[in-house]
Structure 1
Amino acid sequence: MKAFLSIPILLLTLLFTSCTKTTNEYVQPNQTILIDITPSSWTFSQSTNSYFITFDVPEIDAAVRDIDGILVAISGDRTLYEALPNVYSNVSLTYTYSQGKLTIESQPVGGGQPAFPNANLRVKIVIVQSSNVS
């Protein structure tokens, strides 16, 4: 009877002591910056035949500029965001960035007179942290 009970007890002991719970923690290092712009915020450039707007973004430091990634999306109604670069209604929207600054440019596709950006817009800037593997 002792031998009969000792085998199930041994198996139960092995079952409950050999399992180890592993917990993985994932850190979300991305940063999101939301900026609201009005039509009066845009500036016209005759040299590029385009409208542009430049934002001060102190979060874009030298390390972010050189290693991390920058994603930009724009929304007119704050429910649907369109990633840049983008072409919509024969208007090309692109962005460039440097340390501390991000510029969005709006210019007509194929030349012609640029359309004035006449709507309030929300810009979403996402800084995606990365690491240099080279």
Structure 2
Amino acid sequence: MVRPRRVLRISFNPLILTLSVALGVWLGFIAIGLTTYIGYQFYTTESEAPVAQVFTPPPFPPQPAPAPTPPSTGEERLQKYEENYNAAQRADNERLERLEEQRRLNDAKCQFWTEQYRNAPTEKAKRNMGQECG
């Protein structure tokens, strides 16, 4: 006993389908807009009231005006600039010297002659160590 297959007939009207989709999109935008508006109203009214009640700035006594500093001359500013510039140059030079010394001491020839001088301190090893290591 085989049952006959049932056929579901669907007919759609393109106009009704288009209007239904448009109505759904429109209602969705309205729902999002109302939710945003209500949330904004709730957020702004909730946050303003407690802060206004809790925070009252204490009265500050009037502060005396700071004493005006005498205007520095251009010569003093130039001298201070030169001092700062020279100090920075000295610091850079010292840093570069340390890097150069570190590079020389890490050189393979320097390490070789240093080991030679440690193992067998001869005049030749000392001279070559001084030459390679600076």
TM-score class normalised by the smaller sequence: under 0.3
- TM-score, scaled relative to structure 2: 0.23
- TM-score, scaled relative to structure 1: 0.23
* Structure with the larger strand share: 1
**Per chain length, whose mean CA-contact separation is higher, i.e. which structure has more relative contact order (CA < 8 Å, sep 6+)?**
1
* Structure with the larger helix share: 2
